[in-house]
């Protein structure tokens, strides 16, 4: 398999799905990521063909899409952090040759890195990509989002990426790692509070549909580095819709996160 990309675009794709940021640890927020391994899908079927760089775990999924004409379906797994390290020294157009190794070639340089047989969360990535790649694409018009028959997210907002980044960065200032999002007729709100009594509240006027609230962890804004807008979808994280995910997507990035579950200690 052969991919031809600009090194900056490839670096951005790998950085996006690595999702470095502040995650909730046992003693507060810690700097971490989704992990080094990235699964790349070359998708030839359907109307949205191209390369999908994907990462995730049992609670999170993120994909970065690069359009291309693909002759046949193919996929492979690489150590994204390792490839990113070498890309710092390679500029301009690069070619990735995938066989027993991943060979990165430019006009003057060539680097080989190992590939991996399987991603640690292989099945989850396969499932979420198939559900989202032709459904989760930004549009100014929002409504409901049916991911599959038993998951329809009925509440939505259309928000700029800078607002999303500002809101979560503000929430991070109280270091709880738990962020509550609320959609209502007035727009969308982001809240966080700590056990010591610190609280933060940020609100934005934007186009919304429905009304619901959900609490999540992880740096949900790190997947969206541009200046455009995103669609945000979720249901209430209790009752009949308990456990259904938060979904945020732009034109080429899709992010999914399971809601935060508060464990009760008896």
* For residues 16-22, average pLDDT: 96
CATH number given to 1-134: 3.10.150.10
In the predicted structure, residue 160 carries a pLDDT above the cut 50 = yes
Please tell me if the domain spanning 1-134 has the same topology as the one spanning 137-266: yes
Task: Please give the average per-residue pLDDT across 76-84, as a whole number.
Answer: 95
Crossing angle for the helix pair 80-87 and 7-18, to the nearest 10 degrees:
140
Residue 100 Cα distances to 74, 81, 97, angstroms = 14, 19, 9
Q: Is the pLDDT of residue 78 over 70?
A: yes
| pTM score, whole prediction | 0.95
Quote the pLDDT of residue 56: 97
Q: What's the pLDDT score for residue 26?
A: 81
The reported pLDDT for the residue numbered 246 is 98
Euclidean distance between CA atoms 157 and 33, whole angstroms: 26
Query: What is the mean pLDDT of the segment spanning 1-12?
Result: 93
Task: Examine the pLDDT at 264 and tell me if it is beyond 80.
Answer: no
Q: What is the mean pLDDT of the chain?
A: 94
Q: How many C-beta neighbours within 10 Å does residue 98 have? A: 17
What is the pLDDT, as a whole number, of residue 266? Answer: 44
Average pLDDT of the residues in 93-98: 94
Pairing verdict, β 151-153 and 145-148: antiparallel
Please name the residues in contact with 63: beta carbons below 8 A apart, sequence gap of 6 or more: 17, 52, 53, 54, 128, 129, 132, 133, 253, 254
- State what percent of residues in the chain have pLDDT above 70: 98
Give the span between the Cα atoms of 141 and 231, in whole angstroms.
Answer: 9
Instruction: State the average pLDDT over residues 237-265.
Output: 89
Residues in the chain: 266
What is the dihedral angle through the alpha carbons of 71, 72, 78, 82, rounded to the nearest 10 degrees? 0
Alpha helices in 63-155 (DSSP H): 80-87, 122-132
Question: Given a cut of 50, is residue 129 above it in pLDDT?
Answer: yes
pLDDT-based confidence at residue 262 (cuts at 50, 70, 90): low
Could you tell me which CATH number the domain at 137-266 has?
3.10.150.10
Cβ atoms within 10 Å, residue 49: 18
The pLDDT tens digits for 31-50 are 999 999 999 999 999 999 99
State yes or no: pLDDT of 219 exceeds 50: yes
Q: For the chain, give every domain's residue range.
A: 1-134, 137-266
């Amino acid at each position: 398999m052969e991919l031809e990309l600009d090194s900056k675009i490839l670096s951005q794709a790998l950085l996006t799905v690595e999702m470095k940021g502040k995650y909730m640890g046992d003693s507060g927020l810690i700097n971490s990521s989704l992990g080094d391994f990235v699964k790349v899908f070359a998708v030839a079927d359907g109307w949205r063909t191209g390369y999908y760089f994907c990462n995730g775990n049992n609670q999170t999924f993120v994909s970065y899409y690069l359009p291309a004409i693909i002759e046949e379906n193919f996929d492979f797994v690489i150590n994204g952090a390792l490839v990113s390290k070498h890309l710092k020294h390679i500029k301009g157009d690069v070619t990735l040759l995938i066989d027993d190794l991943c060979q990165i070639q430019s006009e003057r340089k060539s680097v080989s890195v190992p590939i991996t047989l399987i991603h640690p969360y292989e099945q989850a990535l396969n499932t979420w990509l198939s559900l989202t790649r032709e459904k989760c694409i930004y549009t100014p018009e929002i409504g409901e989002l049916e991911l599959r028959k038993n998951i329809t997210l009925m509440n939505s907002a259309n928000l700029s990426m800078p607002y999303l980044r500002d809101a979560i960065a503000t929430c991070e200032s109280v270091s709880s790692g738990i962020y509550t999002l609320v959609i209502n007729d007035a727009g969308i709100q982001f809240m966080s509070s700590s056990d010591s009594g610190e609280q933060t509240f940020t609100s934005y006027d934007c186009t919304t549909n429905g009304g619901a609230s959900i609490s999540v962890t992880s740096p949900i804004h790190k997947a969206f580095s541009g200046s455009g807008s995103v669609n945000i979808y979720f249901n209430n994280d209790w009752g009949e819709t308990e456990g259904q995910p938060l979904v945020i997507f732009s034109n080429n990035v899709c992010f999914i996160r399971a809601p935060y579950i508060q464990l009760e200690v008896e």
